[in-house]
C-alpha cells in the first residue's frame, strides 16, 4: 500500500511539457498473494489520449500491473484508460473535508438559518487563467462578493492568511460570507483538462445551502448530478457545461446573467437546498463507502479466480 503516492509540488509550468506528478512507489516482493494499492490523493493529469500517472504506474509494475489497484479522485477515469490497472473511484480528500467539517457542525449549522442580503459570491484563492478570466467578467457585476488571491482581497481573512491552514478552518472563517450569499459561482480547480475533480469549493456551496453556478472541466455539472446532487437546472442554465474551453466560462456567466442580477426565491427552493446539504454531509459519504466496498469485492472475486489473476486485462466493471 502506498498512501498519497503523488509527491508535491506539481511540476507543470506554463510553456513546458507536462510530465505529471512525481510518484512514490512501494518496495514490493511479489508472490501469488501480493496486491498493491496506489492511493492518488490529488487530481491526475488527463489529456485527450491518456492519463500520464496511470501510464507511469503501469510502466513501473510491468507484468504485475494487473494486481495493482489505483484509488483515484477523478470521475470517469476509465474513459481515458483501458490497461490492466484496477481503478476505484474514492475521493479521499473530499471525504476527509466533509468528515472534518461535520465534526464542527454544532459551531456552524445555526449560521444558515438567517435571511441573506447578497446575491452571489465568487471566491478565488490560487490564481490561474480561468479564475482571472471569471474575475474580469464579474468585477463590475453588482450585488456580489468577489476575490482573486491577493489581487482582489477579501476585507476579512484575505487569501494571504490561508496558507498552511486546513479547508475546515477556512470554512469556519468564511461562514458569515457563505451565510449571506444565495448563489455561488464556483471556479473549480481543473478547467482545461478533459477530466478533473470536484473539490471542497463545490462541496461548501452545497453545505452553505447555495445555488451553484459551477465552472470547471467539461461535464462537471453532469458529474455532480451523477453523484446525487441537485444542480437546479430549472434555475441555472447549465447548457455551457460542455462548451469549448475558449467560451465555456464566459457563457456560464452570460447564460445566467439574469440570475446574478435578480437572485432566487430561497423559500421556494429551501427544501431542495437542505436535501443537497444533507446529502453532502451524510448521504454521499456513505454512498462512497458502499461503492468502494462493492468495487473491492468485484476486484477480490476477480483476483481470487485463477484466470482473472493471470490475465493481463481481466473483465471488470468500471468503478
Which cell numbers in the block locate residue 170? 477556512
Task: Give which of 58, 89, 78, 80 is closest to 315, Cα–Cα.
Answer: 78
Identify the weakest region by mean pLDDT among 23-37, 73-87, 114-128, 295-309. Answer: 295-309
The residues near 78 (Cβ < 8 Å, ≥ 6 apart) are 87, 318, 319
Contact yes or no for 15/51 (Cβ under 8 A): no
Q: Which residues in 128-197 belong to E strands, given as ranges? A: 144-148, 181-187
Contacts made by residues 287-294, CB under 8 angstroms, sequence distance 24+: 287/227, 287/228, 288/90, 288/91, 288/95, 291/89, 291/90, 291/319, 292/88, 292/90, 292/319, 294/319
Helix boundaries (H) for 232-303: 245-254, 257-262, 266-278, 284-303
Locate cell 483476483: which residue? Answer: 303
Residue 32's pLDDT is: 87
Q: What is the pLDDT of residues 69-114, one digit of tens each?
A: 999 999 999 999 999 999 999 999 999 999 999 999 999 999 999 9
Q: List CB contacts of 275: < 8 A, sequence separation 6 or more.
A: 230
Among the ranges given (10-19, 214-223, 234-243, 305-314), the one the predictor scored with the smallest mean pLDDT: 305-314
- As beta bridge partners, residue 152 has 148
Q: What's the predicted TM-score (pTM) here?
A: 0.92
Amino acid at each position: 500500500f502506498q498512501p498519497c503516492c503523488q509527491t508535491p509540488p506539481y511540476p507543470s509550468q506554463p510553456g513546458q511539457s507536462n510530465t505529471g506528478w512525481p510518484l512514490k512507489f512501494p518496495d514490493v516482493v511479489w508472490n501469488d498473494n501480493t496486491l498493491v494499492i496506489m492511493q492518488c490523493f490529488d487530481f491526475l493529469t488527463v489529456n485527450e489520449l491518456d492519463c500520464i500517472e496511470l501510464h507511469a504506474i503501469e510502466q513501473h509494475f510491468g507484468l504485475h500491473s494487473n494486481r495493482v489497484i489505483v484509488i483515484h479522485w477523478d470521475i470517469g477515469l476509465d474513459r481515458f484508460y483501458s490497461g490492466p490497472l484496477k481503478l476505484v473511484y474514492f475521493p479521499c480528500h473530499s471525504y476527509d473535508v466533509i468528515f472534518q467539517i461535520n465534526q464542527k457542525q454544532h459551531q456552524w449549522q445555526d449560521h444558515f438559518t438567517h435571511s441573506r442580503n447578497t446575491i452571489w459570491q465568487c471566491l478565488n484563492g490560487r490564481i490561474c487563467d480561468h479564475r482571472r478570466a471569471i474575475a474580469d467578467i464579474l468585477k463590475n457585476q453588482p450585488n456580489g462578493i468577489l476575490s482573486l488571491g491577493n489581487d482582489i482581497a477579501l476585507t476579512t481573512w484575505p487569501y494571504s492568511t490561508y496558507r498552511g491552514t486546513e479547508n475546515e478552518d477556512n470554512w469556519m472563517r468564511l461562514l458569515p460570507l457563505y451565510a449571506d450569499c444565495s448563489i455561488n459561482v464556483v471556479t473549480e480547480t481543473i478547467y482545461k483538462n478533459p477530466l478533473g475533480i470536484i473539490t471542497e469549493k463545490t462541496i461548501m456551496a452545497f453545505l452553505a445551502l447555495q445555488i451553484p453556478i459551477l465552472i470547471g472541466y467539461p461535464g462537471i455539472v453532469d458529474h455532480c448530478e451523477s453523484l446525487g446532487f441537485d444542480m437546479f437546472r430549472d434555475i441555472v442554465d447549465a447548457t455551457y457545461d460542455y462548451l469549448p474551453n475558449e467560451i465555456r466560462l464566459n457563457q456560464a456567466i452570460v447564460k445566467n446573467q439574469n440570475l446574478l442580477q435578480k437572485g432566487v426565491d430561497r423559500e421556494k427552493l429551501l427544501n431542495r437546498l437542505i436535501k443537497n446539504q444533507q446529502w453532502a454531509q451524510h448521504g454521499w459519504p456513505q454512498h462512497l463507502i458502499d461503492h468502494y466496498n462493492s468495487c473491492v469485492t468485484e476486484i477480490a472475486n476477480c483476483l481470487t479466480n485463477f484466470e482473472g489473476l493471470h490475465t493481463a486485462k481481466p473483465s471488470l466493471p468500471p468503478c
